Amino acid sequence: MKIKAFRKAHFNAAHRLYRKDWSDEKNFQVFGKCSNPKFHGHNYELVVAVTGEIDPETGYLIDLKILKDHIKNEVEEYMDHKNLNEEVEEFATLNPTVENIAVVIWDRLRKKLASKYDIEVTLYETPRNFVTYKGE
Ligand code: NI
């Protein structure tokens, strides 16, 4: 019997989508306003889903306090109010698109959570634009 638990979180961060090997004009053609050389911010909304079995001893799938603390340490304190391109090492050479941010968050949480859990990350860059990633 599988059950899925969810935890929501939020962070604000700045980014610029661009390739260093492209001109500003080409970056603007591909990435639009998100390639603004002066950067800009988004209010990211995160939903982390953890799937697994209920522990018969505790009745828990996972202690949600533990999940909350990992999200706080690995995502919120790591990315909130940061310039992703300049201050978050994963994006030194990786374009901080919502897709890549979701993958980075998943990788960071995967290292912290027991392998018996399946993890799925849903990341909203705007209320209408979001992605999901579950490590596949
Ligand atoms: Ni943007």
Strands 3-15 and 40-52, by their bridges, are antiparallel
Output the CA 14–ligand 1 centroid distance in Å: 8
8-64 pLDDT, tens digit per residue, is 999 999 999 999 999 999 999 999 999 999 999 999 999 999 999 999 999 999 999
Output the CA 15–ligand 1 centroid distance in Å: 6
70-128 pLDDT, tens digit per residue, is 999 999 999 999 999 999 999 999 999 999 999 999 999 999 999 999 999 999 999 99
List, by residue number, the catalytic residues. Answer: 34, 81, 125
pTM of the model: 0.96
Output the CA 121–ligand 1 centroid distance in Å: 19
